[in-house]
Amino acid sequence: MKNNPILIVLGEPYSVFLELIFKIFKSNFIQKIKRPIILIGSEKLLKGQMKKLKYNIYVNKLLQNEILTIDTYNNKSINLINVNFEHNKPFDKITDKSKKYIEDCFNVGLNLIKKNNKISLINGPVSKKNFLRNKFLGITEYLAQKVNKKNNVAMLIYNKRLSVSPITTHLPLKLVHKNLTKAKIINHVMLITNFYKEHFKKIPKIAITGLNPHCESNYKSSEEDKIIIPAIKRLKQKKKKIHGPFAADTIFMKENYKQYDVIIGMYHDQVLTPVKTLFEFNAINITLGLPFVRISPDHGPNVSMLGKNMSNPTSLIEALKFLNK
């Protein structure tokens, strides 16, 4: 295929994501995307939501294997691989009854990527509680196991001005310190460094936070002394541009964060809260370490806004911009 497609798994049925898709396809922005966009999801759900929101976009249904052989796609219409939605009507709330449908959508996308790993994947938001059912911490870990990359992936929330990455993802705070190791931090930094070298031809300048307030503990020893500082020393020996540990309550001050490409934190909200405060929806979630590029818009299903036609497509736009190469 001349232009390797971008697959979009539509994700949670009870979500604003289809609204964002429609807004993209009705905007002038869609014509700037050189790669074919192919949605994976239910035609019934898509057309039902389109009717409800009063959009009128032609849907071009495709067979799975077609996308590996045909070069004539464009993004003037919605290209869709239909995945059956077994229920008679859409849910009126998020429920684990959608688990099989969402998994079927992911399986269609991953099977196509196995045949061509230059295909990229965007997935819409899912309910981690209902879809993952405590088997995985997040979609990052779910996809890692699907492609046999368990324990060798990293979540990067990317913005061209500043990206962030948590060492641990969707863990309860009480478990974070038990899941920090020197090897994990080193591998995490290597994944980020390799990503920046491959995509931006640069070695990123990285700041790393401590775990404890002010990078210290009232106990005899701290995670900073036992794990984080030794990991930083080893990475400096490997000539990586890493600095820290820094206190998390000051590293995101303007005069501090603008010196770095990436800030790595020890847990999810330690770095995602400030980056969303700084850039709102102008960021994307990239999984590093997979054999293909996977991106997710940096927001959830946002069910409180469903049907209001007021949701912001900025993060999805940024995801498509990143892949438009």
Distance CA(236)–CA(239), nearest Å, equals 5
Question: Any idea where the domains of the chain sit in the sequence?
Answer: 1-153+289-325, 155-283
Interval 59-76: pLDDT, tens? 999 988 777 776 667 888
Amino acid 86: pLDDT: 75
Give the CATH fold of the 1-153+289-325 domain.
Isopropylmalate Dehydrogenase (3.40.718)
pLDDT at 96: 66
Please state whether the predicted TM-score (pTM) of the whole model is above 0.85. Answer: yes
Distance between CA 240 and CA 38 in Å, rounded? 38
* pLDDT recorded at residue 309: 80
Handedness of CA 55, 59, 64, 68 (dihedral sign): negative
Residue 1 has a pLDDT of: 43
Examine the pLDDT at 179 and tell me if it is beyond 90: yes
Element (H, E) at 230: helix 229-237
User: What pLDDT is attached to residue 94?
Assistant: 58
Arch. (CATH architecture) of 155-283: 3-Layer(aba) Sandwich (3.40)
**Region 253-259 average pLDDT:** 95
C-alpha to C-alpha distances, 292 to 68, 149, 196, 245, 295, nearest whole angstrom? 16, 12, 15, 31, 10
Residue 32: which residues within 8 A CB-CB, separation 6 or more? Answer: 324
Over 80: is that where the pLDDT of 89 sits? no
Burial class (CB in 10 A: 0-12, 13-18, 19+), 184: middle
pLDDT more than 70, % of the chain = 94
Residue 313 preceded by cis peptide, ω within 30: no
The Cα-based distances of 324 to 17, 60, 262 in angstroms read: 20, 21, 22
Contact criterion met (CB below 8 Å) for 167 and 288:
no
Q: Looking at per-residue confidence, does 219 or 261 come out higher?
A: 261
Q: Same fold for the domain at 1-153+289-325 and the one at 155-283?
A: yes
Say whether pLDDT at 270 is over 60.
yes
What integer pLDDT is reported at residue 99 of this predicted model?
Answer: 86
Please state which of the ranges 38-42, 140-144, 283-287, 303-307 shows the lowest mean pLDDT: 303-307
The share of the chain scoring above pLDDT 90, in percent, equals 66
CA-based end-to-end distance of the chain: 15
Q: What average pLDDT is seen over the chain?
A: 89
Identify the band that residue 85 occupies on the pLDDT scale cut at 50, 70 and 90.
confident
- Model confidence at 90, pLDDT cuts 50, 70, 90, reads low
What is the rounded CA–CA span in Å between residue 52 and residue 42?
Answer: 15
pLDDT given for residue 70 in this prediction? 66
Is the pLDDT higher at 209 or at 70? Answer: 209
Q: Is the pLDDT of residue 97 over 60?
A: yes
Local structure of residue 115 (DSSP, 8 states): H
Check residue 203 and give its pLDDT. 96
Helical packing angle, 17-25 and 43-53, nearest 10°? 70
Higher pLDDT, 291 or 67: 291
The better pLDDT of the pair 141, 205 is held by 205
CA 77 to chain CA centroid, Å, is: 25
List, for residues 105-148, the tens digit of each pLDDT value. Answer: 999 999 999 999 899 999 998 877 777 777 888 888 999 999 98
